[in-house]
Chains A and B, each alone.
Chain A
Amino acid sequence: MQRYDYLKAIAGDVGDALVVSAGWAAREWQALRSGDGNFRPRTLGLASSIALGIALGLPRRKVIVIDGDGAFLMNLCGLPTIAWQNPPNLIHLLFDNQCYEASGATETATVMGADAVALVKGAGYKHACWVKSPKGFREEFLKAWKRNKISFIAARVEQGQPVLPPIRVDELENKYRFIRHIEATEKKGILGPSDHRRR
């Protein structure tokens, strides 16, 4: 099973959640759940921290981060920070393909047994588990959604993805659309006026 098979299993269950995902997962997610509520960072490792910032800024909105093992390992120090803040609205998903796939597929440390669930539990997450199938993934995801406490769900996946259309939205457009989407759905102003008059 590939990551796409797992993401497909929950794509209909995320409502108006804001979703943060980087790398190839971002294209998969955009194909499965289109729209402007998806933010696609470009810094390896920072997706989980960006998602934490969004979750703290909008405490009543569900926020989902789709992490990969390479990114996850790069930002281990972000895990205790997330656990310390303990945002109830954050769901942290991890797809472990045991390699830096987008960077040429050399191995990551998970191939030698670094265990993401053990790592997040050690960092202070109370709810974390491995799942073995898209069906089990969906079940855990729905539990996490209802639990309303920070939850971590991890799956080992095969490398690869289906042929999908490229995303034709660059970083700036992604940012503006994402902010406008939050403004519209949360009914709040975020970006200031741009006409340089006194505010």
Chain B
Amino acid sequence: MDSKKAAQIIVQGLKKAGLNFVATLPDLKIVELIRAVDKDPDIKHVPLCREEEGVGICAGASLTGKKTALLMQNGGLLNSCNGLTTTCLQFQIPILLLVYYAGDLGDRGFTTVGSVTEPVLEGLGIRTYVLRRTEEVEETLRGAQILAEDSKKPVAVLLTKSVLGVK
């Protein structure tokens, strides 16, 4: 599957899960997904300069009733750890974390960030689901959003190259 089609499937999954507010910072592997988010009239898109500000923006929007996601690379997840801890976890504010899993199986150049990603999320107590198959996109996104709202915490979905349609 090509990355444009994959992006459409993920955006439709986000919308079916009720999301309507997405803050993003690019990685080459999620650029089609960001373009699809940007084009969608039902989703407010906030492009960021650094990922941790996205935690604040999404948290603020969540307080007003928006259903929010933060789309970024896993390096950006590491940038966001204090905000996730002292805003989202301390105040119990749900955000869906859509994290491109750089340094995952078969990826060159990012093994360090890849190897610490899941341990960091576990350390933060953020439940994490790795999304590898297109057929599981809709169910996983909907389920993760329900968990985020019900637990009042961030939930992370790690997006892999296969589900993004990229090499």
Contact = CB atoms under 8 A, between A and B. Distances in A.
A56 B60 CA distance: 9
Nearest to B93: A175
A50 interface: yes
A148 interface: no
Nearest to A56: B61
B91 interface: yes
A58 B66 CA distance: 10
Interface stretch (A26-34, A35-43, A98-106, A113-121): A35-43
Interface in A2-26: 20
Contacts of B60: 20, 49-57
B87 A182 contact: no
A53 B57 CA distance: 4
A80 B49 CA distance: 7
Contact of B63 (A81, A84, A178): A178
Given A53-B57, A56-B44, A190-B64, A43 B87 contact: yes
A146 B151 CA distance: 41
A57 B61 contact: yes
B97 to A, nearest CB: 15
A162 B63 CA distance: 31
B145 to A, nearest CB: 12
A57 B44 CA distance: 9
Interface string A156-179: 000000000000000110110011
B86 A43 contact: yes
A188 B46 CA distance: 23
Nearest to B44: A56
Contact of B59 (A50, A78, A81): A50
A142 B56 CA distance: 27
A56 B63 contact: no
B52 interface: yes
A58 B65 CA distance: 9
Given A50-B87, A54-B64, A57-B63, A41 B56 contact: yes
A81 B86 contact: no
A174 B47 CA distance: 28
Interface of B: 21, 44, 46-50, 52-66, 68, 82-83, 86-87, 90-93, 149
6 contacts: A46-B59, A52-B56, A56-B21, A78-B56, A172-B91, A192-B149
Interface of A: 20, 39, 41-43, 45-58, 75, 77-78, 80-81, 84-85, 171-172, 174-175, 178-179, 182, 188-190, 192
Nearest 5 Cβ contacts at the A-B interface: A53-B60, A57-B64, A49-B56, A46-B56, A53-B61
